[in-house]
Amino acid sequence: MSVRRIVSLVRTRWPRLILGACAGLLASACSVALLATAAWLVARAAQRPSIIVLSVAVVSVRAFALGRAIFRYVERLVTHDVTLQVLSDLRVAIFRRLERLAPTGLPVFRNGDLLARLVSDVEAVQDVFLRALLPWVTGVLVALLSAAGVLLVLHSAGTVLVAVTLLVAVVVPRFTRRWSHRAEAGALEARGQLSEDVVDTFERLPELVAYGAVERRLAGLADTERRLLRHLDSAARIRGTGAAAVTLATGAAVWCALVLGVPAVRTGSLSAVLLAVVVLVPLALAEVFASLALAAGELTRGAGAAGRVVDVLDTPDPVAEPGRPSQMPAAPYDVFVAGLWARWPGQEDDALCGVDLDLPAGRRCAIVGESGSGKTTLAMALLRFLDPGAGRVTLAGVDTRELDSDAVRQVVGLLAQDAHIFDSTVWENVRLARPTATRSEVRAALGKARLLDWVDSLHDGLDTWVGEHGDRMSGGERQRLALARVLLADFPVVVLDEPVEHLDQRTADTLLTDLLGATRDRTVLAITHRLQGYEDFDEIVVLQDGRVAERGTHQELMRIDGRYRASYQQELATSRRQIA
């Protein structure tokens, strides 16, 4: 089923694939005809006939030799070109699907495994066309045509050749696929696991070194690699057994032709010259039969890879785009959340349970709570990365489910704690928010983010490269660069997701003050573990297990003997000890 799905995705390429298949068919036919004609020519020449009798055969040998080379070249040129285009189309389709899935739909896949699907599995899909489907179709047609020719000369030998063709093209591949399916599936799973482990090892290398866990991780990688090699060896042995069966069947066809042909020559029903042709045609088909055996193994491997690719393509969107999106309403952009229930894709439990929230334009609200309380889920629902299971989110009075999700995210922006910094210049990293921005506009955004003085102190200024993940910058500088992006995009509504997480106390205090100052004229929803710094917000909402446990201003919540007051007092005491 997965192979059919992949084939259906490339139906626009079928005309050229058929052209390549025809060229391959002619190349294989020329190869068989070359050996058959050469056999007839040598046998007939031994009888010393007139040269005129041999002239047609001589010319035919030359024609078939040239045709084999030319048609094989055309077949390789066309099929490889089309296959590369197919891979390009497939990668674009997967990337577009990942774009729709990000970020809430991606956790159902592991990072490294997703990389393996995008790279090695897509590359394996090309073998479905190049080494499985096309060789099988052309091989079967050539073998049947050759068997039909032998049937006309010697019926019994032709019947044997038809039986061998069915054995090689149907029976052996069927058993090879059945026996190798588990090994191929295990190899794909192990390859994905190995890719995941390698990526995770590189990403977590500092922590592994710090805790002395490098050797254990390398041992785990070695175990996964050995498991992958075991599966590959098992699949290779099965494919080798299938290839050996095909070789034996080809040899048996030659011997059967000889055993059946010799008595026919003695009885006069077959000439000695045609005996050579009857015996050598099965031998000429050896290359064709070998490609059929290879096609079975490649189809099994390619079908498994295609299944993993189709899993990505068929993963449902976290949000359902409206068939005819409503027009984005005009400002002011009041945001209201009413009775919101929501869960992450692949999860059985709701992360939010009946949450209400009012965010009129210009309002500043902080969402606090422990990990797993539903804070990030609320942010994803506001950004339309998640659709409500129940309830609604409205933007300027319009349900966001009626709006295009990209249009929503042009109004509601996110400053994430792990905002990605690309291995490029400061200029390119900030301009990502608005590619048409001028250098003066970028500098203005950096100035509001309190990063312009640092940029001007650099030798290359805006053209300074920041390194992979911004490793040439401090944590505070990376977060300010991400803030400059948000300011350049000029979002009316800004969601701050743990904006000062993983920063030291002094840097966090300074950055938070500057960040809240830079977004003072916007609607702000701050999602945070940290409680200090949000005392002047219009409302603070405490989430617990996906429900609103407390809400009010800082002063109101401090008058209540509740979770917020206890957490705030504990955090304040910890800060004083650190300063002391």
- As a whole number of angstroms, the distance between CA 68 and CA 27 comes to 4
Residues spanned by CATH 3.40.50.300 within the chain? 335-579
Q: Where in the chain is the domain with CATH 1.20.1560.10?
A: 10-195+227-313
We find that the CATH architecture of domain 335-579 is: 3-Layer(aba) Sandwich (3.40)
Distance of CA 573 to the CA centre of its chain: 48
pLDDT of residue 510: 82
- Measure the CA–CA gap between 203 and 194, rounded to whole angstroms: 14
Contact 113, 29 (CB under 8 A): no
Please report, to the nearest 10 degrees, the dihedral formed by the alpha carbons of residues 171, 188, 291, 156 taken in order: 0
Per-residue pLDDT tens digits for 383-392: 999 989 899 9
DSSP tag of 211: T
Nearest in space to 301 (alpha carbons), one of 132, 184, 183, 178: 184
485-500 pLDDT, tens digit per residue, is 988 988 999 998 888 7
Distance from C-alpha of 539 to C-alpha of 520, rounded to nearest angstrom: 15
Beta bridge partners of 548: 543
**pLDDT tens for residues 32-50?**
999 999 988 888 888 888 8
Residue 1 pLDDT greater than 60, yes or no: no
Pairing of strands 335-342, 390-395: antiparallel
| Domain 10-195+227-313 listed as CATH 1.20.1560.10 | yes
Give residue 190's pLDDT: 86
Query: Does pTM top 0.75 for this prediction?
Result: no
d(CA 125, CA 465): 38
Q: Read off the pLDDT of residues 379-414 as tens digits, 9 standing for 90 and up.
A: 999 999 998 989 999 999 999 999 999 899 999 998
The predicted pLDDT at position 578 comes to 64
Task: Tell me if 497 sits within 8 A of 417, measured CB to CB.
Answer: yes
Q: Which of these, 121, 85, 82, 83, lies nearest to 312 by C-alpha position?
A: 121
pLDDT at 247 over 60: yes
Cα separation, 256 vs 160, whole angstroms: 7
How many helices (H) and strands (E) would you count in the chain?
21, 10
pLDDT, tens digit, 9 for 90 and up, residues 200-221: 888 788 888 888 888 888 898 8
pLDDT value at position 580? 54
